[in-house]
Amino acid sequence: MKISEIRASGLLELYVIGTLEGEELKMIEKALSQYPELKADLNIIERTLQAYAYASAVSPSADLKERILEEARKSTPSSDGSSKNNKSKRNSNHGPLGGLIILFSLLSLFFAFNWFSSIQKMEEMEQRHQIENEACDSIQAASTLQFALYQDLTNPNNAIIANSAHPKYPQTEIYFYHNPVDKKNYLQLNSLPTIDDDSQSYQLWSIIGDNPPSPLDVFQSDNKILQVQHVEGTQVYAITIEQKGGVQSPTLDDLIGTFTI
């Protein structure tokens, strides 16, 4: 196969996730030896799958667990093993009318208890059904967003640019996904310098020609995949550490890295 056919076949993706077997596996291994440039394709696929994995965790709402436990506690039947029917033995000398009154009272209590239990069970079932529906809706919405994100990250129009790390922060690892066709940008934040989240933020900048840097997105260190602004004509995007909430002019002493478009 030609290198273009290999790239379009989807076999490289299967090779990365380890599901390729038999003749196809041998063919790809041979192609990797024949076309060394395919190793760069493998690196891009691995980074893309890693980016998607960061975004794939689905977290239910914070109070969902407590609500389910509360419903379980409500549904646990409480019982009192003591019997209070002994008094009827002592009152057996009240005659037929007294017996009928007692029987009617017991039947009334029995039917009232069954009715109340049925109503309570129906309410519990409705509450559980509502909780389960909310959980399903939440998971479905998150899955839809994750699929859309995966499509954006694997878009063939993406240019994936590794950051040029500033000497002050050599361990920084960031990838910039730049799509000039759809006008979308994403950051894959693998490794960032540590900041004080109470007083500092990371900030993205757009640099066009000799103009001063324009302030863009402000974000914290708990992000892994982040969609950021696309500014037409930007030649260089840069990331700095700034005071909490961002600033209008960058602190170049805390420049983390740049991405040349």
* Phi and psi torsions of 255, nearest 5°: -75, 125
Structure tokens given for 254 = 């805390």
Q: Model confidence over 140-162: pLDDT tens digits?
A: 666 677 778 888 889 999 999 99
Segment 165-178, tens digit of pLDDT? 889 999 899 999 99
All CATH 2.60.40 domain ranges in the chain, comma separated: 159-260
* Among 47, 261, 56, residue whose Cα is nearest residue 174: 47
> Which whole-number Å values give the CA distances from 12 to 17, 33, 120, 148, 154, in the listed order?
9, 14, 57, 22, 13
CA 197 to chain centroid, in Å, comes to 21
Residue 158 corresponds to which amino acid? N
Please provide the size of the chain in residues. Answer: 261
Ranked by mean pLDDT, the top range of 27-41, 67-81, 177-191 is 177-191
Determine the topology of domain 159-260 in CATH: Immunoglobulin-like (2.60.40)
Q: Please tell me the pTM assigned to this model.
A: 0.52
- pLDDT tens figures, 234-250: 999 999 999 999 999 99
What residues contact residue 73 under an 8 Å CB cut-off, 6+ apart?
none
Question: Half-sphere exposure of 243 toward its Cβ, with a 13 Å CA cutoff?
Answer: 3
Sign of CA dihedral 236, 241, 244, 247: negative
Edge-to-edge strand list for the sheet holding 173-179: 159-162, 173-179, 184-191, 225-228
